[in-house]
C-alpha cells in the first residue's frame, strides 16, 4: 500500500484491503500447490514434457500473484481504513474457517484445525516438558510457520527460498508473540525456552535446507 495515493473513501479503502488480504491464503495456497507439484515432477522426471508444462503453469500463476499484488498496491493507499481492513482480512479466513469446519467440509477449516493440532504436538515434545514457556513458544511457533505456508510469494526469483524465509519469519513471530505479550517478567523463561529449542536445531536444519535456507 502507498501513502501517496488519493483515498477511495473510508469504506472503499477498508473493503479493498479486507478483500485483498482475506484472499491471500487462497491465492497463496494455490501458488504453493502449483510450485510443489512442479518441484515433485522435476525431481521425478526432470526435463520431461509434463515437468516443463507444470513449470510453465506455476510460473504463470506466480506472475498472476505478482500482478494481483501490484494492482492492489497501486489502487489502495496506506491509511487507517486500509490498515484496519488488512488486519481484519488476515484474521477473518482462519477464524471463519475454523468455526465452519464443524459444519462445512471446506478447506480452511480443516487446515486451521490441523495447524492447531500440529502446535499442540510440538508443545508436547518430551524435551520441552520442564519449560512451560518453551511449550508455549513451540506451540505458537509451529502455528505461525504453518499459517505462513499459504501466504503468497511475490517478486520472487527463487520461490522455495523465499517460502522458507517467509515460513521462518511467521514461525518466529508466532513463537515470540506470547512471551512478548506477557512482558519483561517472562525473560528468564524465554532464555530457558531458547535453550530447549536449541536441542531441535540439528533436526530442523535439514528441513530448512530443503526450502533453500
- Structure confidence at residue 91 (pLDDT): 78
CA distances from 37 to 57, 93, 164 (A): 10, 24, 17
Q: What is the pLDDT of residue 113?
A: 76
Run means of pLDDT, 10 residues per run, the chain, 213 residues: 64 92 91 96 95 96 96 92 88 58 50 80 84 82 88 91 91 78 52 49 44 41
What is the model's pLDDT at position 28?
A: 94
Q: Helices 132-148 and 187-198 sit at what angle, rounded to 10 degrees?
A: 70
Q: Which of 131, 24, 2 is nearest to 78 (CA)?
A: 2
Cell, residue 101: 469446519
Contact (CB, 8 A) for 128 and 194: no
Single pTM value for the model: 0.75
The whole-number pLDDT of residue 8 equals: 77
Residue 71, CB-side half-sphere exposure with 13 Å CA sphere: 8
Which pLDDT score, from 0 to 100, does residue 123 have?
85
pLDDT at 98: 47
Cell numbers for 64, please give them: 498472476
Contact present, 151 and 207 (Cβ < 8 Å): no
Closest CA to 100 of 91, 88, 89, 112: 112
Cell of 8: 477511495
Amino acid at each position: 500500500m502507498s501513502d501517496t495515493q488519493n483515498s477511495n473513501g473510508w469504506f472503499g479503502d477498508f473493503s479493498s484491503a479486507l478483500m485483498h488480504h482475506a484472499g491471500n491464503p487462497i491465492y497463496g495456497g494455490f501458488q504453493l500447490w502449483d510450485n510443489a507439484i512442479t518441484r515433485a515432477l522435476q525431481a521425478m522426471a526432470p526435463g520431461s514434457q509434463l515437468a516443463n508444462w507444470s513449470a510453465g503453469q506455476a510460473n504463470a500463476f506466480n506472475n498472476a500473484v505478482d500482478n494481483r499484488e501490484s494492482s492492489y498496491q497501486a489502487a489502495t493507499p496506506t491509511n487507517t481504513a486500509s490498515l484496519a481492513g488488512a488486519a481484519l482480512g488476515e484474521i477473518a479466513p482462519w477464524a471463519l474457517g475454523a468455526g465452519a469446519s464443524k459444519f462445512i467440509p471446506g478447506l480452511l477449516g480443516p487446515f486451521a484445525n490441523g495447524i492447531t493440532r500440529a502446535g499442540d504436538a510440538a508443545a508436547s515434545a518430551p524435551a520441552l516438558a520442564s519449560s512451560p514457556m518453551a511449550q508455549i513458544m513451540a506451540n505458537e511457533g509451529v502455528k505461525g510457520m504453518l499459517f505462513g505456508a499459504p501466504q503468497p510469494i511475490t517478486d520472487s526469483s527463487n520461490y522455495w527460498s523465499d517460502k522458507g524465509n517467509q515460513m521462518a519469519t511467521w514461525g518466529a513471530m508466532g513463537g515470540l508473540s506470547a512471551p512478548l505479550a506477557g512482558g519483561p517478567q517472562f525473560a528468564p523463561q524465554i532464555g530457558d525456552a531458547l535453550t530447549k529449542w536449541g536441542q531441535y536445531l540439528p533436526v530442523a536444519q535439514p528441513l530448512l535446507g530443503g526450502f533453500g535456507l
